[in-house]
Copies of this chain bind each other. A is one copy, B any other.
Amino acid sequence: MASSDDPSATIAKAAKQAFEASQLVESSERVAALYEIKKELVLSKDKILLANKEDMEAAQVEVDAGRMSASLIKRLDLNKGDKWESMLQGVIDVAELPDPTGKVSYASELDDQLELYRVSCPIGVLLVIFEARPEVVVNIAALAVKSGNAAILKGGKESTRTAAAISKAIQAALSRTKIPDCYVQTIQTRAEVSSLLALDQYIDLVIPRGSGELVRSIQNSTRIPVMGHADGLCSVYLDEAADPKKAVRVVVDSKIDYPAACNAAETLLVHDSLLETIWPEVAKALLAENVQLLCDNDSLSALRSSALPNSAPNFQTHIAPAPPHAYTTEHLSLTLSVLTVPSLAAAMLHINAHSSHHTDCIVTESERTASKFVRGVDSAGTFVNASTRFADGFRYGFGTEVGISTGRIHARGPVGLEGLVTYRYVLRSQGASGHIVGEFGSGEGKKKYKHEPIQATAVPF
């Protein structure tokens, strides 16, 4: 249990106070703060890139010693290509998005001169835990400031120096604005995360981005609500009424466009009527892209007896029987599990039982079948003839995203600024004597509730 002289408690308490103090600050000030952050990042570029160089050198030592994967270095590098510039542009993009707070989603006149408004407002203090890439500190800080939430950020340990330098710049920028400077804080260690997870009086939402294991371990360790961004075990189902060309294009794109992404397809379900027609075509296209196919018996023997020449590229090397765990594995690579199903119902049953409820797609020309699929598959995204890779905040039109929530509560699928707000109810009496419930009821002389909808987009006072 964290006590109040625990340094984590100091951080959490400061965040809560910063949040509360910011509630009366106009949203235009939050936008101004974002421009100030961008300005300070530009001014601090040399310092930040120096810290980044140190992180990369330390990482190189780990890579050389075989303790870290070489691909991590690339992800750490803030000076690579246009990463620095697009990080700065991201801050401005977020600043220019519509304010997610102050929007009325329900308004009703309960009685003459008694009006109720349900209005969007920030959640409070967010604890965001994410992977190595240091630019995420800036992305999340921008989203937090824009949505009116205070944030405590924990990035990957490999980017500690970079994150600290960025955080210093952000706090320097905020100290020149009406937003308190501990609005965005960074922490470095897992021990700090553990302590913070006990502080539900200060922290309102934990947002972990990473493996299912990370998300579950956090859910196990806290009373604070968790909005998990975990695995994507997405599937594509080729229905008996699939169009061959769409089948090939959608499956290939879902698998190869970015295999390491959570919205890449991991499982292909094939209706058994397609085993000798569309399936070999799809397989051929996947093999040509170097995809490894882990097939069930039926799809495997269909390929072996198909017109597909044994001499087709990768035919001898890239087809194998599916091991038992194939259909519960997020490959995150050029590997695809293939399963034959006898019906739409069987496909939906398989998806509901095995997918991670992230995004699942059907390829079909039947509107009736499509309609059943999008209602019967219990996933955050249910797609028809479109690649699973479309499941993304930018593609959905949210401008930017916190991540893709694999939870079902509050925000599901790609989470934009709207996912970082909650609401409250504002009730105002303008009656000459105020309003009391004792005057309402079923007895004689008692008032009845009107419940008359009000057209309002904002609270009018």
Interface residues, chain A, with chain B CB atoms under 8 Å away: 19-20, 23-24, 108, 110, 114, 116, 121, 123-124, 200, 204-205, 216, 219-220, 223, 225-227, 243, 245-246, 249-250, 252-253, 257, 349, 352, 363, 367, 370-372, 374-376, 378-387, 389-391, 394-397, 407-410, 412-414, 422-431, 433-438, 440, 449, 451, 459, 461
Q: Which residues of B contact A384 (CB under 8 A)?
A: 426-429
Contact for A387 among B116, B220, B407, B436, CB less than 8 A: B436
Of all chain B residues, the one with the shortest Cβ separation from A254 is B436
| Alpha-carbon separation in the docked complex, A225 to B227 (Å) | 9
Are B412 and A381 interface neighbours, CB within 8 A? Answer: no
- Given the interface pairs A108-B397, A225-B407, A425-B391, the reply to whether A20 lies near B378 with Cβ below 8 Å is yes
Are B225 and A378 interface neighbours, CB within 8 A? Answer: no
Could you tell me the distance in whole angstroms from the C-beta of A430 to the nearest C-beta in chain B? 8
Are A381 and B435 interface neighbours, CB within 8 A? Answer: no
If over half of A's interface residues share one DSSP class (helix, strand or loop), that class is named, otherwise mixed; here it is mixed
Could you tell me the distance in whole angstroms from the C-beta of A214 to the nearest C-beta in chain B? 13
| Alpha-carbon separation in the docked complex, A434 to B376 (Å) | 21
Q: Which residues of B contact A363 (CB under 8 A)?
A: 434
- Given the interface pairs A383-B428, A384-B427, the reply to whether A23 lies near B376 with Cβ below 8 Å is yes
Q: Which residues of B contact A426 (CB under 8 A)?
A: 374, 381-384
Are A245 and B390 interface neighbours, CB within 8 A? Answer: no
Contact for A436 among B200, B257, B430, CB less than 8 A: B257
Contact for A412 among B19, B245, B422, CB less than 8 A: B422
Are B223 and A216 interface neighbours, CB within 8 A? Answer: yes
Are B424 and A390 interface neighbours, CB within 8 A? Answer: no
Of all chain B residues, the one with the shortest Cβ separation from A382 is B426
| Alpha-carbon separation in the docked complex, A420 to B246 (Å) | 36
Contact for A434 among B204, B219, B223, B385, CB less than 8 A: B385
| Alpha-carbon separation in the docked complex, A116 to B382 (Å) | 10
Are A123 and B408 interface neighbours, CB within 8 A? Answer: yes
| Alpha-carbon separation in the docked complex, A379 to B423 (Å) | 9
Q: Which residues of B contact A349 (CB under 8 A)?
A: 20
- Given the interface pairs A20-B378, A378-B20, A408-B123, the reply to whether A385 lies near B424 with Cβ below 8 Å is no
The 25 listed contacts between A and B (C-beta, < 8 Å) are: A20-B349, A24-B376, A108-B396, A110-B396, A200-B219, A204-B409, A205-B409, A225-B408, A382-B427, A383-B426, A383-B427, A383-B429, A384-B427, A385-B431, A385-B434, A385-B435, A386-B427, A386-B435, A390-B435, A390-B437, A391-B427, A396-B425, A409-B410, A410-B410, A412-B424
Are B429 and A423 interface neighbours, CB within 8 A? Answer: no
Are B380 and A461 interface neighbours, CB within 8 A? Answer: no
| Alpha-carbon separation in the docked complex, A123 to B357 (Å) | 12
Q: Which residues of B contact A108 (CB under 8 A)?
A: 396-397
Besides A20-B376, A23-B375, A409-B422, 10 more A-B contacts (Cβ < 8 Å) are: A23-B378, A24-B375, A108-B397, A116-B397, A245-B433, A250-B434, A371-B461, A385-B428, A395-B440, A397-B449
Are B110 and A381 interface neighbours, CB within 8 A? Answer: no
Q: Which residues of B contact A427 (CB under 8 A)?
A: 381-384, 386, 390-391
